[in-house]
Every structure is written in structure tokens, then in C-alpha cells.
Amino acid sequence: MAPPIILKVTQRSPRNPIKKLPANIEITERSTVQDVKDRLGLQAGGMDPERLGICDPEKKKILKDRKALVSQHKEVMAGREILIKDLGPQLSWTTVFVIEYLGPILIHLLFLVIRPYIYKNAGPMSTSQHLSMAMIVLHFLKREYETLFVHKFSLATMPLRNIFKNSAHYWVLSGLNIAYWIYAPTSYAARSSPTIDKLNIVGLVLYIFGEVANFYTHVALSNLRSPGGTERGIPKGFGFGLVTCPNYMFELIAWFGIALVTKSWSTVLFWGFAYGQMRLWAIKKEKALRTEFPDKYRKKQCGIFPTPAVLVKALVTCWRKLEFQERRISKRVLFIMEPLRRSPRSVDSNNSTTPMLQPEPPSEIIKRQVAGQGRHRAMGHVETHAQYGDVIRDIIIGFADGLTVPFALTAGLSSLGSARLVVIGGLAELFSGAISMGLGAYLAAVTERDHYLAEEERERAEVRDTPEHERQEIFDILGRYGIDADTTRPLVDALLADEDNWVQFMMDFELKLEKPNISRAWISAATMGLAYFIGGLIPMTPYFLMENVTHALFISIAVTVVILLIFGFVKNYVTIQTRRSGFYGAIQTLLIGILAAGTSYGIVRALDTKDPYPGYFLDDLYWGGGRMPH
């Protein structure tokens, strides 16, 4: 057992000393920063340990990672000394975030009630004003959800004074400042025109993309840490290859969408302040990653927004990868199993020689397989398989439904001759469909996860209660592959030595269940909902831009046909990776879309009675042919 380590405890601020602080503290090699803080807090008369900041004596920087081992800090161990500072009253990060995000939500909703008392001639709010309120409130509700269920903080607390600074930023700039100006009856958001409606659509699309992408990056950052852990890692995924902090980039894109809808300088002011602060954080993040991972981290030149040169370079790199993949697929060589080792030939009753197969020891099989893999690498053979199957599946389902269902609906509604009716009905279906698809994907992922966990627990109980029966099941499973019990007995014995591997084998080969990713529920919901929304927005775009519904219908058909062909080709080509399957998928997807749109158009056309008053048709259904007075 290693001897204890004695560290000298020194007050970092002699003018504000901590009473009853010991002169020395005894630690072990496994003592963490949090352990030292807890012990010092007890010895200092029951002081809150979170108020204590432990600093190294050389750089005098606070040791932020509370789960890091003190013995691994070179500056501390070199002088066998730590500096202690009173950080003042503390609040948890979660509490501070919840309070600062709650302000804008309450302030914007409050303006629904107090508008008549603030503005003269305050009539009903316009569509842009309602949309602005919904976007801002939903943004901060998302932030509240991420604070409670997604974010994992390396520090447990922050100084109490920070809550006033942070709350002032959000409560004043994004709360009172934006709300007062955009809900005024004289604001640009209170006006209505075709140009304003088009700006609202563009802003809404940017907002949805930014919020979904921002949530995705936050989940990716959260997955770098284990539950309750403080370890750091190199973030990877969507956006992280372009800039240091894509989460900031996507949030600013979402707020740019809000600015297009609000059309107010107050929103631009908040955007500018947010960008300035985020840029400072991005610079610090880049420096920290370069310092902590000097050999593994690929340096970024852009903190938040990529420059045109970086975008061009990324596009060129992506194109080269696609070309390389195409060449590799076209030159793919199909490898067959190595010829079986043959023993000396035996002579049967007809004096004909036949190869006699003999089983190899498992160790020899492993050696031969490893050697074979080495030869494959030497020959340039690299297996390629389709990746990101779950994400691709969600995108395919969401985009395919979004492309066909709203297209069929808008095509059907266009037979009534009203572009406004098409837009209203299409948007209603688009939003409800995207939400429904997202919720359906979430519930499906949660159900899949719960089913797997239940089956895993049941299988673990069977392994413990009836081990012989489960052992025989392994022999039966391997027997289906033509492997006899004598050959597999060493493998089975090695497998049974570890209960977790045993259970995992049964889940994989007996139940054929793949362990779901716990964090995929929300990712699946966001991916499928966003794919549905984007797919549905494509055939509706001509109706936003054109007043003649017939012209818009033909433009929508042409655009949708092209997109259906491209989508069908890409869908099959990505999953099956052959051109023939891609062309087949293009034709199949196009026929399904034509069938859905044609059916919808015909049904609506047949139901249209051509009465001068459209409500008569519904009256006929309800009153049995009689006319309700209008």
C-alpha cells in the first residue's frame, strides 16, 4: 500500500482568510479534488465544500475537474502544496440555468395580458407576432429541457452572483427588450404583406433547422461524458468538422430565423451580444482542446462560423470521398472462404480418393484468421458496409412521408382553385405530421429500449436459475451453423466464465435483439420530424410564391417528380450501394408518389360539388340534404 501524501494548505487570499483551515492535509494517490474539498470543509467547521476553490501553487488556477486525482496534478505534487480560496456562496449550475431561461418565457407570455395596458390602440396581435412569441418561448423551453435532462456539468456549482449577471442578459435583452418592441402595434411584425409572409417562412425554416441541429450537438457533447462523470473528449459529429463550437453556430442560425420573423432591431441587438459572448467561449474552447489533446485534436481555424474557404475545402473533401467510395465499390473484389485444409487423401470402397476433413484446434483457427486478415490488408482489401443505419432509416421514413403526403394533400386541395386554402391546409398538415412523426419515432425508440431491457433481465435470470439449460441452448445455436459440440466446447466454457458475455451472446443469437442506444429516442424523433418537415415543404413552396394555383400545381409536380427520383435513387444507393438498386428505387418512389397524389386529387375533385357556397356540401352531410340558413 502506498504511503499517504502530506500537502501543505495555504490561504490564497490572506486578507480574507478561511477560519479553522488546517495547515496540512493527508491524502492518498486515489484522492480526488472533491474528496479534498469535502475533508477541508469538515475541518473548517462544516463549511460548504463547494465554496472552496483548490488552486495549484504555480499557475494559481482553480482545479475545475472535481473528479480528477490530485496526485496527477504535476504543479501540486511538485511543491506538495495547494492554495485554498473562498469562492463565496454557491448555486448549482442547473438552478442558475433554469432561473435565467425561465425569465424570457414568463415575460413573453405575460405580454399577452398586459399589451392593452402598455400600448395605445393595441389591437389583436398579427400572425408574425404570434409566431415570434411561439418561436422564442419554444427556444427557451428547449433550453430548460436540455438543462434538466441533457447537459452534464463538469463543475457542480457557480458563484451566487452569476445568477444576477446571467439573468440580466436573458431577462432584459431577450425578454423585456425584444418583447416590448416586437409586440407593439406599430412594429414591423404587426404588419402583413406577401413579402412579410415569405420572410416568415424563411425564418421559420432556419429556426427549425438551427434548433434541431443545436439539440443534436448538445446530445453529442453530453455523450462524451459518462453519467455523473467529468471526463473530457474530442467532440465529433455533424458540424464539429467545420468549426470548434457548432452548437453556437446552430443557435445563432435559429436566432437569425427569429430575427427574420420579428423584423426588429431588438432581436438583432440580442443576436450581436450573444455572438460576442459565444465567440469568446469558442476561442477558450479551441485553446483548451489544443492543450488537452495536442496530438489527437484537429485544429480549427473557425470558432463559430466557417469561412468560405473552409466551406469550399469541406465540400471538395466530401466530393473526393464520394469519388473514392465510387471507385472502391466499382473495383470491389468478392472474396470467398479460404480453401479448407486438406488431410492426406483416404481411399473409399471404390478406390477413389476423397479429401478427409479434420477439425482444427481453436487456437489454430484464430491464428489462421488473423493471418488471413493481414493478407487482406496487404492486398488492399477493406470491407465497406453501409453506416448510420438508424439515422438513414429515420431520414428515409420521415422524408418519404413528408414528400408524398403533403404533396398528395396540396395536389388534392389545388383542385378547389384557392392557393390560400392550399397553403393553410398544407401547413396545418405539415406541422401536425412532423410532430406526429417525431412523437411516433420517440415512442417507438422508447418501447424498443424497454423491451430490450426487459428481455435482458429475463435472460439474466434464466442464466442464474437454469445455467445447464442455457448452456445447452448455446450448443444448439452453434449446431445450427454445422458446428458440433466437441469443437465448440472450449469456446462455450470460455463464454460461460463471464455472465455479462453469456447474457449478451443469448441476446444476440437466441433472441436476435440488438441493444438500442439509450440516447437515440430523441435523436430519432428530431431526425424523423425534421426530415418530414423538409420533405413536405418542397412541394408546397410553389404555392407560397405563386397566386395562380394551376401554375403552382404544375411547378409543384415538376419539382416533386425530380426530388422523388433523386431521393429514391439515393435511398437505395446508400443502403444497397449498387446503381441498379438506385435506379429501381427512383422508379419505385416516383410511382408511389404519383399514385398517392393522383388518388388524393381525384377524391377531392369528386367531392367538390361546385356550389357557390362551399359550406353547402358539409350542410348536406349534416342536415341530410336540407339547407341550414346562412
Residues of the chain short of pLDDT 70, as ranges, are: 1, 315-392, 517-520, 571, 573-578, 597, 600-601, 604-605, 607-630
β-pairing, 81-86 vs 5-11, is: parallel
Instruction: Evaluate whether 559 touches 541 at the Cβ level (below 8 Å).
Output: yes
SS3 of 69, please?
strand
β-pairing, 346-347 vs 157-159, is: unpaired
391: left (phi over 0), alpha (psi -120 to 50) or beta: alpha
Q: 5-88 — its CATH code?
A: 3.10.20.90
Q: Which of 475, 508, 510 has its CA nearest to residue 491?
A: 475
Fold exhibited by the domain 95-308: Four Helix Bundle (Hemerythrin (Met), subunit A) (1.20.120)
Whole-number Å distance between alpha carbons of 500 and 493 = 14
Looking at the whole model, is its pTM more than 0.85?
A: no
Residues 282-316 have pLDDT tens digits of: 999 999 899 888 888 888 878 899 887 777 777 66
Whole-number Å distance between alpha carbons of 178 and 191 = 17
> pLDDT value at position 132?
94
Whole-number Å distance between alpha carbons of 135 and 256 = 12
> pLDDT value at position 192?
82
> pLDDT value at position 626?
42
Across the strands, what pairs with 11? 84
144-178 burial code (b ≥16 CB/10 A, e <16):
eebbeebbeeeeebbeeeebeebbebbbebbbbbb
239: left (phi over 0), alpha (psi -120 to 50) or beta: left
> pLDDT value at position 66?
81
Q: Which residue has the cell 491464428?
A: 367
Give domain limits for the chain: 5-88, 95-308, 391-607
Q: CB 469: neighbour CB atoms within 10 A?
A: 10
CB proximity list for 39: less than 8 A, separation 6 or greater: 25
Instruction: Evaluate whether 521 touches 446 at the Cβ level (below 8 Å).
Output: yes
